[in-house]
Structure 1
Amino acid sequence: MNKKVFVVLVTYNGAYWIDKNITSLLNSRYPVSIIAIDNNSTDDSVALLKKYPGVDLIQSPDNLGFGKANNIGVKKALDLGADYVFLLNQDAWVFEDTVSGLIEKMEQTEGFGIMSPMHFSGDGTTLDKSFETYFKRKASRVASQNITVVSFVNAAAWMISSECIEKVGYFESLFGHYGEDRNYCDRVSYHKLLIGIDENSKICHDRVIVRNFKKDVIQSKYKILTSLLNINAGLSKSYLQGLKEVFGLPKYFLKAYGLGKSVNMFFSLLGYYMRWVGDRNTIKTARNNAK
């Protein structure tokens, strides 16, 4: 008997990829139901999604970001009886046996809350650069199943069991667009579940990673928040780690942006850190809710 698999797709001005994304899911050998949450796109994303009658489209009046929009879709999937929820980025597409391969590994191997395929770039032959970094940081390997066990893999393509979601919960709403997947992985580990990469399954993630100062500052801020919310460490240790990030991250970007911008980054990150120091109750509440 097939497990009920719901794909949750968050879109925002992703018209360029919509057809390839949806078509790949419709051609999956393993049947899936698709829930799309559009974050108030200004391009043709909504019109393209409406071409597919099988897509359950939810239109948000605001751009909720990645985590909050996914939460809407995940909740609906669980309400409809999902056994598994597959999070897929709008700029990615699957192959015919991607979903079936992931389900097979989840069903045959105990202890995994998240299973991700191999992430290739748009050409389908070279690994996505960021994914390659995570893949090489493997914690262990289940050789008999060709599964690499990691502490983190980005959420461009996550197969999550309903049991994992019920135990771990949804994405933390304190995050905007970055950091929520790392926080979720920390919580999965806290609940003694494993995160795996199925070496036999693959997706294509058609993105170009572009760095700029504003983006790096935002990502750095959420890296600090991730440290503060890491329930695998005590609260005091988490605050110390967050402070280390404040002092360490500007040094990391010194070569890219020069001394002036690195100093600006330091004060921006320090202000962000102090904001959370002054709002410890919010941090404590988020940490407690994740347990």
Structure 2
Amino acid sequence: MTVAAEALAGRSARRRVRETVVTHVCLVIGVLIFAFPIYLALIGSTHTSGTIGRGDVPLLPGPDAVANYAQAWGIGGGRFMGVPAGGMLLNSLLMASLIAVGKIAISLTSAYAIAFFRFPGRMVFFWLIFITLMLPVEVRIIPTFQVMVSLGMTNSMAGLVIPLIASATATLLFRQFFLTIPDEYVEAAKIDGAGPVRFFFDVLLPLSRTNIAALFVILFIYGWNQYLWPLLIVNDRSLETIVVGLTKMIGSGDAQNEWNVIMATAVLAMVPPVGVVLLMQRWFVRGLTETEK
């Protein structure tokens, strides 16, 4: 029995080793697939446009990083010469931050009302919010654009942000979280004389902070990656976002593209969302995995 048990344990250990090796090999391959294009953009941003234009794919850094990033930040490049990446980054940062904060604020209050207040039509409002998840952006974008035009909100930061700050997904997530809060919390707040507003700020918000942090990261990246709506609502170059600006820097046909500046701009465009993820990763992971309230 001892020999058989030892043999079985040895086979189990070898199987675990094989599974670990296969898992790590797959993980490394996946990382390389995702990271290699980013590495090429980073390396390409340090070479001259001629080097990249010849079809060479340099794998080592070049000597022109400072000049390329200075041009991208200060004056732009390609068809967007004169529109610096610094301004587009600021526009994107402001838009993404306002979208994330606005979505969270509206979702928190709407989920609070649906979860804790009893009024006629409460579930009707919830399902109306939920149904909007089934409508693709393309279905809503033309009517939304017409509303913005009628309100005179084209070519404005308000026009960029306001149509995007409602979030059925965040409302659903906050509602589900609020439903897990014990009724004793509500009863204790009533005994202490806390009204709905005080209960919201003193009890619900502290309990929701990890969820808020996780959603902020997701919603910030959502706002940062917006392309179709900013392309439609803005034609003023001073309000261009970095994602739209990048595509407009690339000429069509036989146009000579400054690929070094374009790649430098692409690298700069990655910095804010990566920074947000790195700064908030601890709260982000807790918000996604924490189940005990």
Q: Is the helix fraction higher in 1 or 2?
A: 2
Same-fold status (TM-score > 0.5): no
Q: Which has the higher contact order (CA 8 A, sep 6+)?
A: 2
Which of these two proteins has the greater Rg computed from alpha carbons?
2
Q: Is the strand fraction higher in 1 or 2?
A: 1
